[in-house]
Every structure is written in structure tokens, then in C-alpha cells.
Amino acid sequence: MASFRNSPAIHHRSLVLNPSSQSPVFYPCFRRSARFIIKAEQTAAAATKLPSQDKSGRRQALAVGAIATCISLFNATSSSFAAEAKKGFQAVLDKKDGYSFLYPFGWQEVVIEGQDKVLKDVIEPLESVSVNIVQTGKESIRDLGSPQEVAEVLIKKVLAPPSQKTKLIEAAERNEDGETYYTFEFIAQAPNFTRHALGVISIGNGKFYTVTTGANERRWDKMKDRLHTVIDSFKIFNV
């Protein structure tokens, strides 16, 4: 039977939200390309003053080669990001904690104490995704029990307050790149709203990862495909 008694408490409580600003993305390699171009032009200009045209030619060839290499790397990186991205989604890549996932375009990052990362729709507050991480001595999510057992405990003790009625709809296991993930779907009913939610959990890097996303029940049919994309895209990697 799943138990979280020996694990640190996982806090999922909403506090003051502080929307963070988005910053433009700059590619250092592209800036270096610009410097190489300037250097190449300076070298070409200086060549008219050098007695040896061979020496000038070699310098220009080196500069052009450096430009081509950097542009090639830049294009390869861009292609890699494009391959991982999906239309209508943006990517999160956390190299420190070792995880990545996609989230719908337009969601904003907010700060909630106890959460590693939270992104949400500013108009529909129940449409969000949160990542929680705690240390664990377990090596696999299977050490805690079956998908159904673990999901039931997590939903009742962590993901919903005691005042809400919860129902586990389904739970399953998936394996990808040698990692095991438990995914589940549930409903949490409060007095004034019902949230239809999805979750995925996994263990790696000595950490227990919990990711949840969802929407108001009235918008579930419209959002469910996008929310499944969020959960299905979640991956952990060694750090």
C-alpha cells in the first residue's frame, strides 16, 4: 500500500501570486557570429596593407570558417528546439532539477511557496500546471505501490484539501527512456467549483516529482487535449 509518511510533506497551498515578466531570448553563438563578421571585415581591410597576400588569405579563410561553424551550430540548436516544441506550446527545461515539459502558449509563470514551478492562465485560474519536488530515498515510483494506490493516497492527502470530494477516474503506468511514470486523472469537487485534473509522478535523481494540471469542469472538453499534452510531455533526466 502506498505511503508517504517517510517522505517530507508536499505542500500544494496557494499563496500570493506574483506574475513574473518574460525576457527575450538571446543566442550567444549568434552574437559571436556578428563579431566574427566584423573581424573578417577588419582582416580584409588590413590585407591591402600586408606585403603577403597568402597570409591575408589564410586569415580570411579562418574567419569565414569560424562564421560557418557558429552559424551551423546555431541552426542545429534551433532545429533541435523546433523538433521538441509543438504548435501552441512552450517548453520548460530545468537543467538543475532534471525535468522538462510543455505548457500551453500564453500561460504565465507565478510564484507559489513550496512549488518548484507554476504556470497558469490569468483569465481561467483553474487552468494551470504545477511542479513539486521533494527528496526521497526511493529509487523507483514502483517502490510506493501500484499506480492506483499511489494516486489515491496522493490525491486525498496532498493534491486536494479535506473539504473537497475527490474521485480517481483512472491511473496507469508508462515507461519512456528507461524511466517509469504513473499518470492519473481525477476530479476534485469544492462547494463552488469542480476541477478536472491530470497528474504524473516519477522518481529520479533522488527526488519525487509531482506534476498536476487541470481546468474547471465546464471547460474540460475544450482543454483536455492540451492538458494531456502537458502530462504526456513531462520527462525527467539525470543531473
Distance CA 121, CA 127 (A): 6
The strand pair at 207-216 and 117-120 is best described as unpaired
Digit-coded pLDDT (tens) for 159-195: 999 999 999 999 999 999 999 999 999 999 999 999 9
Digit-coded pLDDT (tens) for 10-37: 444 333 233 333 333 323 333 333 333 3
pLDDT greater than 70 at residue 66? no
- Number of Cβ within 10 Å of residue 59's Cβ equals 18
- Number of Cβ within 10 Å of residue 147's Cβ equals 23
> What does the pLDDT read at residue 59?
53
pLDDT band at 93 (very low <50, low <70, confident <90, very high): very high
Three-state DSSP state, 163: coil
pLDDT band at 86 (very low <50, low <70, confident <90, very high): confident
Distance CA 203, CA 206 (A): 7
pLDDT greater than 90 at residue 137? yes
Best CA proximity match to 212, nearest among 3, 7, 26, 10 = 10
pLDDT band at 84 (very low <50, low <70, confident <90, very high): low
| Alpha carbon separation from 129 to 163, 177, 212 (Å, rounded) | 22, 23, 6
